[in-house]
């Protein structure tokens, strides 16, 4: 029996942080051998917020090295750049024409980001989830591993696929596969170091709010030293009045590989003065092998270029078939 297919991606905006790592990439690495995988760099999504053309390509390139350094295995996974496969843009247009405007207007991320952008909100920001649906549906993905914040976009993807199938499919032959989200219980929502009630995010203006995968040890130490805590001694996961405590213990748990019960027992009598250096060392050690591997990959650009070239060709061969299927169902004249 052929393996189920997994697809996921990350926007190539800014540098990847522990939320992207624990909520997405670490999960991909863990499950990849059970699936046929497509992981990509969402550089078309990256320009839905104001962007700097001077750094877009470099961000995408660095991310490719990070995926590989984190352990994405090319024997079972294909990595590619979204804008290298033009079917993503083309299917987005077709899906746009069947997606009701009010489905997009109620997306939480759109509302949050639109608030930040003020009056000049680009159409691209509203259309972001339709492009995301196209990304997923082009690969007939069975599973989409993401963090908790993407759940609503996944539901929308399912609705859009359902609508295409209902409107244009024949009863027994759906045109598009309806995917399932894969959201793991731990690491799906890593919170800001500056506020345990806010998600860790690339767009937070304060760098102290996040730890980036490539942060050197002294920066990690400084950020953890300065992170928000509370005045209570003794650390616990389960006090709703202590969101920072929950977040920092969860980070320690995930980065150390210990169980929740082990961490709860180890830290129950600790004060912050004892815990913070422990978390800093654990984070540094967890990221060290990734950072070393990243350096090696970036020193071998020919290799990285060839990985992205092969990835785009493989992705396009799958995506173009789905696009042709959708165009056929919608009644387009095939190329003559």
Q: Which residues bind ligand TYM (CB under 6 A)?
A: 7-11, 19-20, 23-24, 42, 45, 132, 135-136, 144, 146-147, 149-150, 188-190, 199-200
Residue 199, CB half-sphere, CA atoms under 13 Å: how many?
16
Instruction: Considering the complex, state which of residue 52 and residue 302 has its C-beta at the smaller distance from ligand TYM.
Output: 52
In angstroms, the CA 55 to CA 82 distance is: 16
Minimum CB distance to ligand TYM smaller for 165 or for 192: 192
Smallest distance, ligand TYM to C-beta of residue 12, A? 8
Residue nearest to ligand TYM (CB): 23
The token pair that represents 2 in the structure block: 């052929």
- Output 157 or 229, the one with its CB closest to ligand TYM: 157
| CA dist., res. 212 & res. 42, Å (int) | 18
276 is catalytic: no
Q: Is 5 left (phi over 0), alpha (psi -120 to 50) or beta?
A: beta
Residue closer to ligand TYM by CB (options 23, 311) is: 23
45, 131 Cβ separation under 8 angstroms: yes
Among the options 15, 198, 202, 327, which is catalytic?
202
> Which residue in the list 143, 199, 221, 223 is annotated as catalytic?
199
From 15, 113, 151, 228, the catalytic residue: 113
Q: Between 250 and 282, name the residue whose CB sits nearer to ligand TYM.
A: 250
Work out how close the CB of 257 gets to ligand TYM at its nearest, in angstroms, rounded to a whole number. Answer: 18
**Residue 3 annotated in active site:** no
User: Does residue 221 carry a catalytic annotation?
Assistant: no
149 vs 230, beta carbon nearer ligand TYM: 149
User: Which strand (E) or helix (H) includes residue 123?
Assistant: helix 123-137
Per the CB < 8 A criterion, the answer to whether 135 and 82 are in contact is yes
What is d(CA 308, CA 80) in angstroms, rounded to the nearest whole number?
5
The three-class DSSP label of residue 189 is: coil
Least separation, in Å, of the C-beta of 223 and ligand TYM? 15
What minimum distance in Å lies between the beta carbon of 87 and ligand TYM? 14
Question: In this structure, what are the phi and psi dihedrals at residue 255, rounded to the nearest 5 degrees?
Answer: -80, -25
Least distance (Å) between residue 88 CB and ligand TYM = 9
3-state SS class at 77: strand
- Relative to beta strand 77-81, strand 143-145 is unpaired
Task: State the DSSP string of 234-286.
Answer: S--S--TT-HHHHHHHHHHHHHHT--HHHHHHHHTT--HHHHHHHHHHHHHHH
Burial class (CB in 10 A: 0-12, 13-18, 19+), 207: middle
Per the CB < 8 A criterion, the answer to whether 181 and 187 are in contact is no
Query: CB of residue 106 vs ligand TYM: minimum separation in angstroms?
Result: 16
Which sequence positions are flagged as catalytic? 113, 199, 202
């Amino acid at each position: 029996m052929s393996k189920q297919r997994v697809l996921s991606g990350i926007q190539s905006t800014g540098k990847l942080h522990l939320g992207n790592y624990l909520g997405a990439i670490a999960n991909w690495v863990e499950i990849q051998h059970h699936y046929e995988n497509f992981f990509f760099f969402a550089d078309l999504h990256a320009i839905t917020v104001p962007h700097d053309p001077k750094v877009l390509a470099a961000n995408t390139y660095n991310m490719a090295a990070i995926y590989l350094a984190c352990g994405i295995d090319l024997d079972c996974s294909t990595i590619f750049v979204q804008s290298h496969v033009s079917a993503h843009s083309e299917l987005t247009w077709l899906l746009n024409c069947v997606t009701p405007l009010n489905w997009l207007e109620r997306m939480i991320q759109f509302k949050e980001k639109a608030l930040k952008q003020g009056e000049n909100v680009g159409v691209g920001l509203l259309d972001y989830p339709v492009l995301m649906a196209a990304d997923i549906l082009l690969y007939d993905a069975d599973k989409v591993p993401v963090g908790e914040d993407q759940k609503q976009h996944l539901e929308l993807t399912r609705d859009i696929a359902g609508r295409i199938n209902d409107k244009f499919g024949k009863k027994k032959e759906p045109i598009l596969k309806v995917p399932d989200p894969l959201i793991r219980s731990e690491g799906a929502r890593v919170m800001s170091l500056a506020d345990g009630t806010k998600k860790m995010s690339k767009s937070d203006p304060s760098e102290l709010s996040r730890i980036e995968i490539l942060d050197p040890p002294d920066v990690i130490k400084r950020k953890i030293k300065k992170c928000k805590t509370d005045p209570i001694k003794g650390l616990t996961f389960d006090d709703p009045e202590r969101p920072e405590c929950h977040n920092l213990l969860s980070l320690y748990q995930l980065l150390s590989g210990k169980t929740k019960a082990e961490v709860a027992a180890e830290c129950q009598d600790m004060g912050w003065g004892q815990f913070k250096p422990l978390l800093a060392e654990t984070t540094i050690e967890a990221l060290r092998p990734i950072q070393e591997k990243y350096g090696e990959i970036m020193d071998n650009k020919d290799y990285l270029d060839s990985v992205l070239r092969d990835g785009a060709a493989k992705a396009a061969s799958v995506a173009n078939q789905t696009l042709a299927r959708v165009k056929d169902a919608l009644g387009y004249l095939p190329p003559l």
